[in-house]
Amino acid sequence: MTYQTEISALRTAINEQGAPWNAIDAENAARMKLQNRFPTGLDIARYTAKIMREDMAAYDADPANYTQSLGCWHGFIAQQKMIAIKKHFGSTKRRYLYLSGWMIAALRSEFGPLPDQSMHEKTSVPALIEELYTFLRQADARELGMMFRDLDAARERGDEVEAKRIEKAIDEHETHVVPIIADIDAGFGNAEATYLLAKKMIEAGACAIQIENQVSDEKQCGHQDGKVTVPHEDFLQKIRAVRYAFLELGIEDGIIVARTDSLGAGLTKQIAFSKEAGDLGDQYNSFLDCDEVDASQIGNGDVLITRDGKLLRPKRLPSNLFQFRSGTGEDRCVLDCITSLQNGADLLWIETEKPHIGQIGGMVNRIREVIPNAKLVYNNSPSFNWTLNFRQQVYDAWAEAGKDLAAYDRARLMSVDYDGTELASEADERIRTFQRDAAAQAGIFHHLITLPTYHTAALSTDNLAREYFGEAGMLGYVKNVQREEIRQGIACVKHQNMSGSDIGDDHKEYFAGEAALKAGGAHNTMNQFAAA
């Protein structure tokens, strides 16, 4: 519906009410309605799921159409990210949000900073989704509000051409609301608990939910040791639970991202239930590290399984966990991924120990032998030492090619001494093109960085503290923060506007007319940034 059509529809509705609504201005009401395009989280989930499905189809047609996101731990961070994307690239197309369970644990728990072990309040997950979208909707309202002011100014000048141009821009306004991939960890309990939390997340606006195959009460960060996986059927119950939540809430095209941590997980809490040789439970159990025994060797409390007519004792640790055979991680990952896609998942996530296209692509090729359109969400993790990893990859490639490496020490490649070298330059180029190359060669549809804004907040705060509390004093803030905000056109340099002060003034005028006491008058110091 166009701007003028919306005004006409509301004018008709107001006229039908007669005297009680005579004080309501149709154009003001139309503006408020346009500024709140998504009244509920379900409206957001429905809108963004459609976008994500279209993006998945576009990627299937051409891997150059991969998508990206950055993890956001606060609504303001998400808002500024999307404002920046629109400013620099003119469109939010194929750019998403990522909600990281790690950052909720570290930054948003009432217990204070926690490790990524699902100890934080589960309700903090949908609460953050709601917060992220609240800030993105406010970014829409702010941007449209400025366009409405420009429209009023053009009308006051009698500039009809400019007024029509602005109306067209209003009609074509691109929202800051984009898809989110939201981390539900291992589901925070059994399948019913997973279903209940998934509903809350979808109601808050999530169109894509990422769930992992770890044991819920033993959950670890994907880049830490001690990970414990569950048998496939346990995981599939939770995938089904999430799908039921989507369907119940009318989000038929909601997306499930199935994450496997099997590459780095050497333990399981359970021996899978198996009815016959070769079934899914038997395949899971086939990876167990076992010793063959006979009846005379059975000890007190031993757990035994049979395979191919042999009696086997799985290796059980004092923690009561069972151990997988070394070197089976990739095979387990491939089976996890195929099974998940065959039972309702839409996208895969393989948590790896390093960003290596060959390793990832090798697994994806095996998966695609069974599921041809399988594709990944991939964590471009800050837990990887990207500089060292890629310098070592170049070093190894050069060694294989017989290139002279006398000038390099593989163990010291992180050193600043190598920053200007040919090896470092090639490594940096591989890092620069990693996402493009991995999308083409390793089936990665979506690239994300889980914790980038955690690190940027720490780095920028460290820099400011060093300058402000040191010799630079106030210049440390003015030169390195405010002056750069002005020069780079950072929206929040006008922080009163960014926080919604001008939107509030508009509403005051709608509600009170000439009696409105507005904040944005001649004495507002934000006017000093009018030319910024």
C-alpha 444/C-alpha 447 separation (Å) is 7
C-alpha 192/C-alpha 80 separation (Å) is 36
Where are the extended beta strands (E) located within 232-330? 255-260, 267-268, 290-292, 305-307, 310-314, 322-323
> Which three-class secondary structure state does DSSP give residue 274?
coil
Do 506 and 145 touch, CB atoms closer than 8 A? yes
Structure tokens at 477: 């803030």
Active site residue 221: yes
According to DSSP, residue 205 is labeled T
Nearest Cα residue to 385 out of 364, 418, 413, 409: 413
For the chain, the residue count is 532
C-alpha 180/C-alpha 78 separation (Å) is 11
The continuous run of DSSP H or E covering 229 comes out as strand 228-229
Q: Helices 124-157 and 501-512, interaxial angle, to 10°?
A: 60
- Block residue for tokens 């309202």: 141
According to DSSP, residue 316 is labeled B
C-alpha 323/C-alpha 454 separation (Å) is 35
Nearest Cα residue to 346 out of 317, 369, 368, 376: 376
Q: Which of 72, 207, 221, 337 is catalytic?
A: 221
C-alpha 426/C-alpha 412 separation (Å) is 17
C-alpha 7/C-alpha 180 separation (Å) is 32
**Active site members:** 221
